[in-house]
Amino acid sequence: MNAIPAAGRVSIVTVSYNSLKVLPNMLDSVPPGTKVIVVDNASDDTEALADLCRTHGAQLILNNRNLGFGVACNEGASEAKTEFLLFLNPDAMLMPDTLDRLVEAADRYPRASALNPRIAESDGRPYFKRKSYLMPRCEWMPRGWPEADREVTVLHGAAFFVRRSAFEAVGGFDPEIFLFHEDDDLARRLKAECGPLMFIREPLVQHGGGSSSARTAEIAALKAWHMGHSRVYAARKHRQRLARTRALTQATLQLISPLVVFSRRKRAKQVALLSGVVHACLGGASSKERLS
């Protein structure tokens, strides 16, 4: 049995982008002695963020422009020396025993390359990633949390627990994916190259569900553009049939839906989604300064 406490075997990496509303609760939930690395992607509130990180003993990396989620995660991971990494959303919270249970599970399943705990939405509803645009329908899983530990086909990035050796072996997050589907892509590569993915029933992470940045029409559009672009890029990377056609069809149908007519935020989001899909279909690279 490893004599090092769980907190000493895990480094938590989180990416901040104007996330001060939620980040204090996340940091408060981290067990003492756990290394935390906060990578900030050019937020507007870096002085307050620096004060918060000092208060919690977290290491802060400040980027002068938004480099994207995956690149920021890679930056944080490069500062870690522990056996395990936990990529944790800033709007997520650990339970007191979450890290202990995850480390115990990693020891119990030594072949597993990466793990997800149970992830619950803010209202307590289960969140379980059962499917992805990057995998065939035959690999989709049933809805809801499995009743026990089991192998799965993809993982959710809100609380992505991975062996550092496996993360480094696959080259970390794909830097060409600025935002969205980067967790699916990483999970699928880990599964193919390093070992099974596991869902672990006992540990729990509470997730805020997308509240880590402001809910404005502009932010919604920026995120949607990258969602559309990443959907095409990543699906083609994983050799999914008709990736461009399916993305174009879905984005177009969403744009002409009556539900978007009376909402400026929804209209902006759907127009941007289609724009990102078209840009990727035409072979355009991800615009990595788009969120700066």
3-state secondary structure of 238: coil
Is it the case that residue 197 has pLDDT exceeding 60? yes
CA separation, residue 257 to residues 215, 216, 229, 249, 269 (Å): 21, 20, 21, 12, 12
- φ/ψ region of 51 (left if φ > 0, alpha if ψ in -120 to 50, else beta) reads alpha
| The dihedral sign for the CA sequence 217, 218, 219, 225 | positive
Range with lowest mean pLDDT among 101-110, 168-177, 202-211? 202-211
In angstroms, rounded to a whole number, what is the distance separating the alpha carbons of residues 152 and 197? 6
**CB neighbours of residue 175 within 10 Å:** 15
pLDDT at 262: 77
pLDDT at 291: 47
Is it the case that residue 60 has pLDDT exceeding 80? yes
pLDDT at 214: 57
Q: Is 116 exposed, middle or buried (0-12, 13-18, 19+ CB in 10 A)?
A: buried
Mean pLDDT value across residues 247-256:
87
The angle at the Cα of 105, spanning 198 to 173, to the nearest 5 degrees, equals: 50
Specify the DSSP class assigned to residue 147.
Answer: S
pLDDT at 290: 47
Is residue 286 a contact partner of residue 237, using CB atoms and an 8 Å limit? no
Mean pLDDT value across residues 47-69:
97
Token digits of residue 47: 């002085």
pLDDT at 211: 52
Domains contained in the chain, CATH given = 6-207 (3.90.550.10), 217-281 (no CATH)
C-alpha closest to that of 126 among 145, 101, 98:
145
Q: What is the pTM of this model?
A: 0.91
In angstroms, rounded to a whole number, what is the distance separating the alpha carbons of residues 174 and 186? 7
C-alpha closest to that of 114 among 40, 198, 51, 229:
198
User: Where are the extended beta strands (E) located within the chain?
Assistant: 10-16, 35-41, 59-63, 84-88, 92-94, 114-120, 126-127, 150-152, 159-163, 197-207
Is residue 88 a contact partner of residue 208, using CB atoms and an 8 Å limit? no
Q: Which residue, chain included where needed, has tokens 């941007």?
A: 272
Is residue 189 a contact partner of residue 181, using CB atoms and an 8 Å limit? no
In angstroms, rounded to a whole number, what is the distance separating the alpha carbons of residues 73 and 197? 19
Is it the case that residue 69 has pLDDT exceeding 90? yes
Name the band, by pLDDT with cuts 50, 70 and 90, for residue 1: low
Mean pLDDT value across residues 22-34:
97
pLDDT at 249: 92
Is it the case that residue 292 has pLDDT exceeding 60? no
In angstroms, rounded to a whole number, what is the distance separating the alpha carbons of residues 159 and 101? 13
Q: How many percent of the chain have pLDDT more than 70? A: 95
